[in-house]
Amino acid sequence: MTTANFFQKDWYEILGAHPSDSQQELKQNYQKLVLLYHPDKQSADVPAGELEERVQRFIEVDQAWKILGNEETKREYDLQRRADECYIYDCRCGGEFILAKEEAEENISVICCNTCSLSIEILKRS
């Protein structure tokens, strides 16, 4: 799988899950979907086009579990999702200043480091 595909798809949505779900909940969703879409579980009277869609869905569900079922790849995926939704600036203490892109549209003037007490002022250019 290419890096672009790794980050472009919403693997949580494919599993019918949320980022806040526990590992056990993710696994339950995966198992339910695998039983539903596994090629060996399909009846013989399913039309060929629908069968192909189900096989493709099975492949996506399996890929989602390979990413979200592994703590390391899940952490990397979650960090990238978070970075895509926020502006992040490194603080001198090693912490980060994090500004959600939605908040950047508003007139927020000061944000704080997530580790120390340092704050920075955000100037919005017109």
Confidence band, pLDDT 50/70/90 cuts, at residue 2: very low
3-state helix, strand, coil in the chain (%, to 5): 55, 15, 30
Amino acid making up residue 65: W
Distances (CA, A) of 24 to 5, 43, 74, 77: 25, 29, 14, 18
Regarding the domain delimited by 11-69, which CATH topology (the fold level of the hierarchy) does it fall under? Helix Hairpins (1.10.287)
- What is the per-residue pLDDT for 6? 55
Question: Which two structure tokens, joined as six digits, stand for 32?
Answer: 């339910």
CB-based contact 15:33 (threshold 8 Å): yes
pLDDT reading at 126 higher than 70 = no
- What is the per-residue pLDDT for 1? 52
Q: Can you tell me the distance from the alpha carbon of 96 to that of 89, in angstroms, rounded to the nearest whole number?
A: 6
- What is the per-residue pLDDT for 4? 45
- What is the per-residue pLDDT for 5? 53
Domain residue ranges of the chain, discontinuous segments joined by +: 11-69, 85-121
Query: CA 48, 49, 53 angle in degrees (round to 5)?
Result: 115
What average pLDDT does range 26-42 have in this prediction? 94
Query: CA 9, 13, 14 angle in degrees (round to 5)?
Result: 75
- In this prediction the pTM is 0.65
Confidence band, pLDDT 50/70/90 cuts, at residue 3: very low
Look at the block and give the residue holding tokens 């590992």: 23
Q: Can you tell me the distance from the alpha carbon of 90 to that of 92, in angstroms, rounded to the nearest whole number?
A: 7
Distances (CA, A) of 125 to 98, 105, 108: 18, 11, 12
Q: What pLDDT digit, counting tens, does each position of 54-111 carry?
A: 999 999 999 999 999 999 999 999 888 877 778 888 999 999 888 887 777 777 678 8
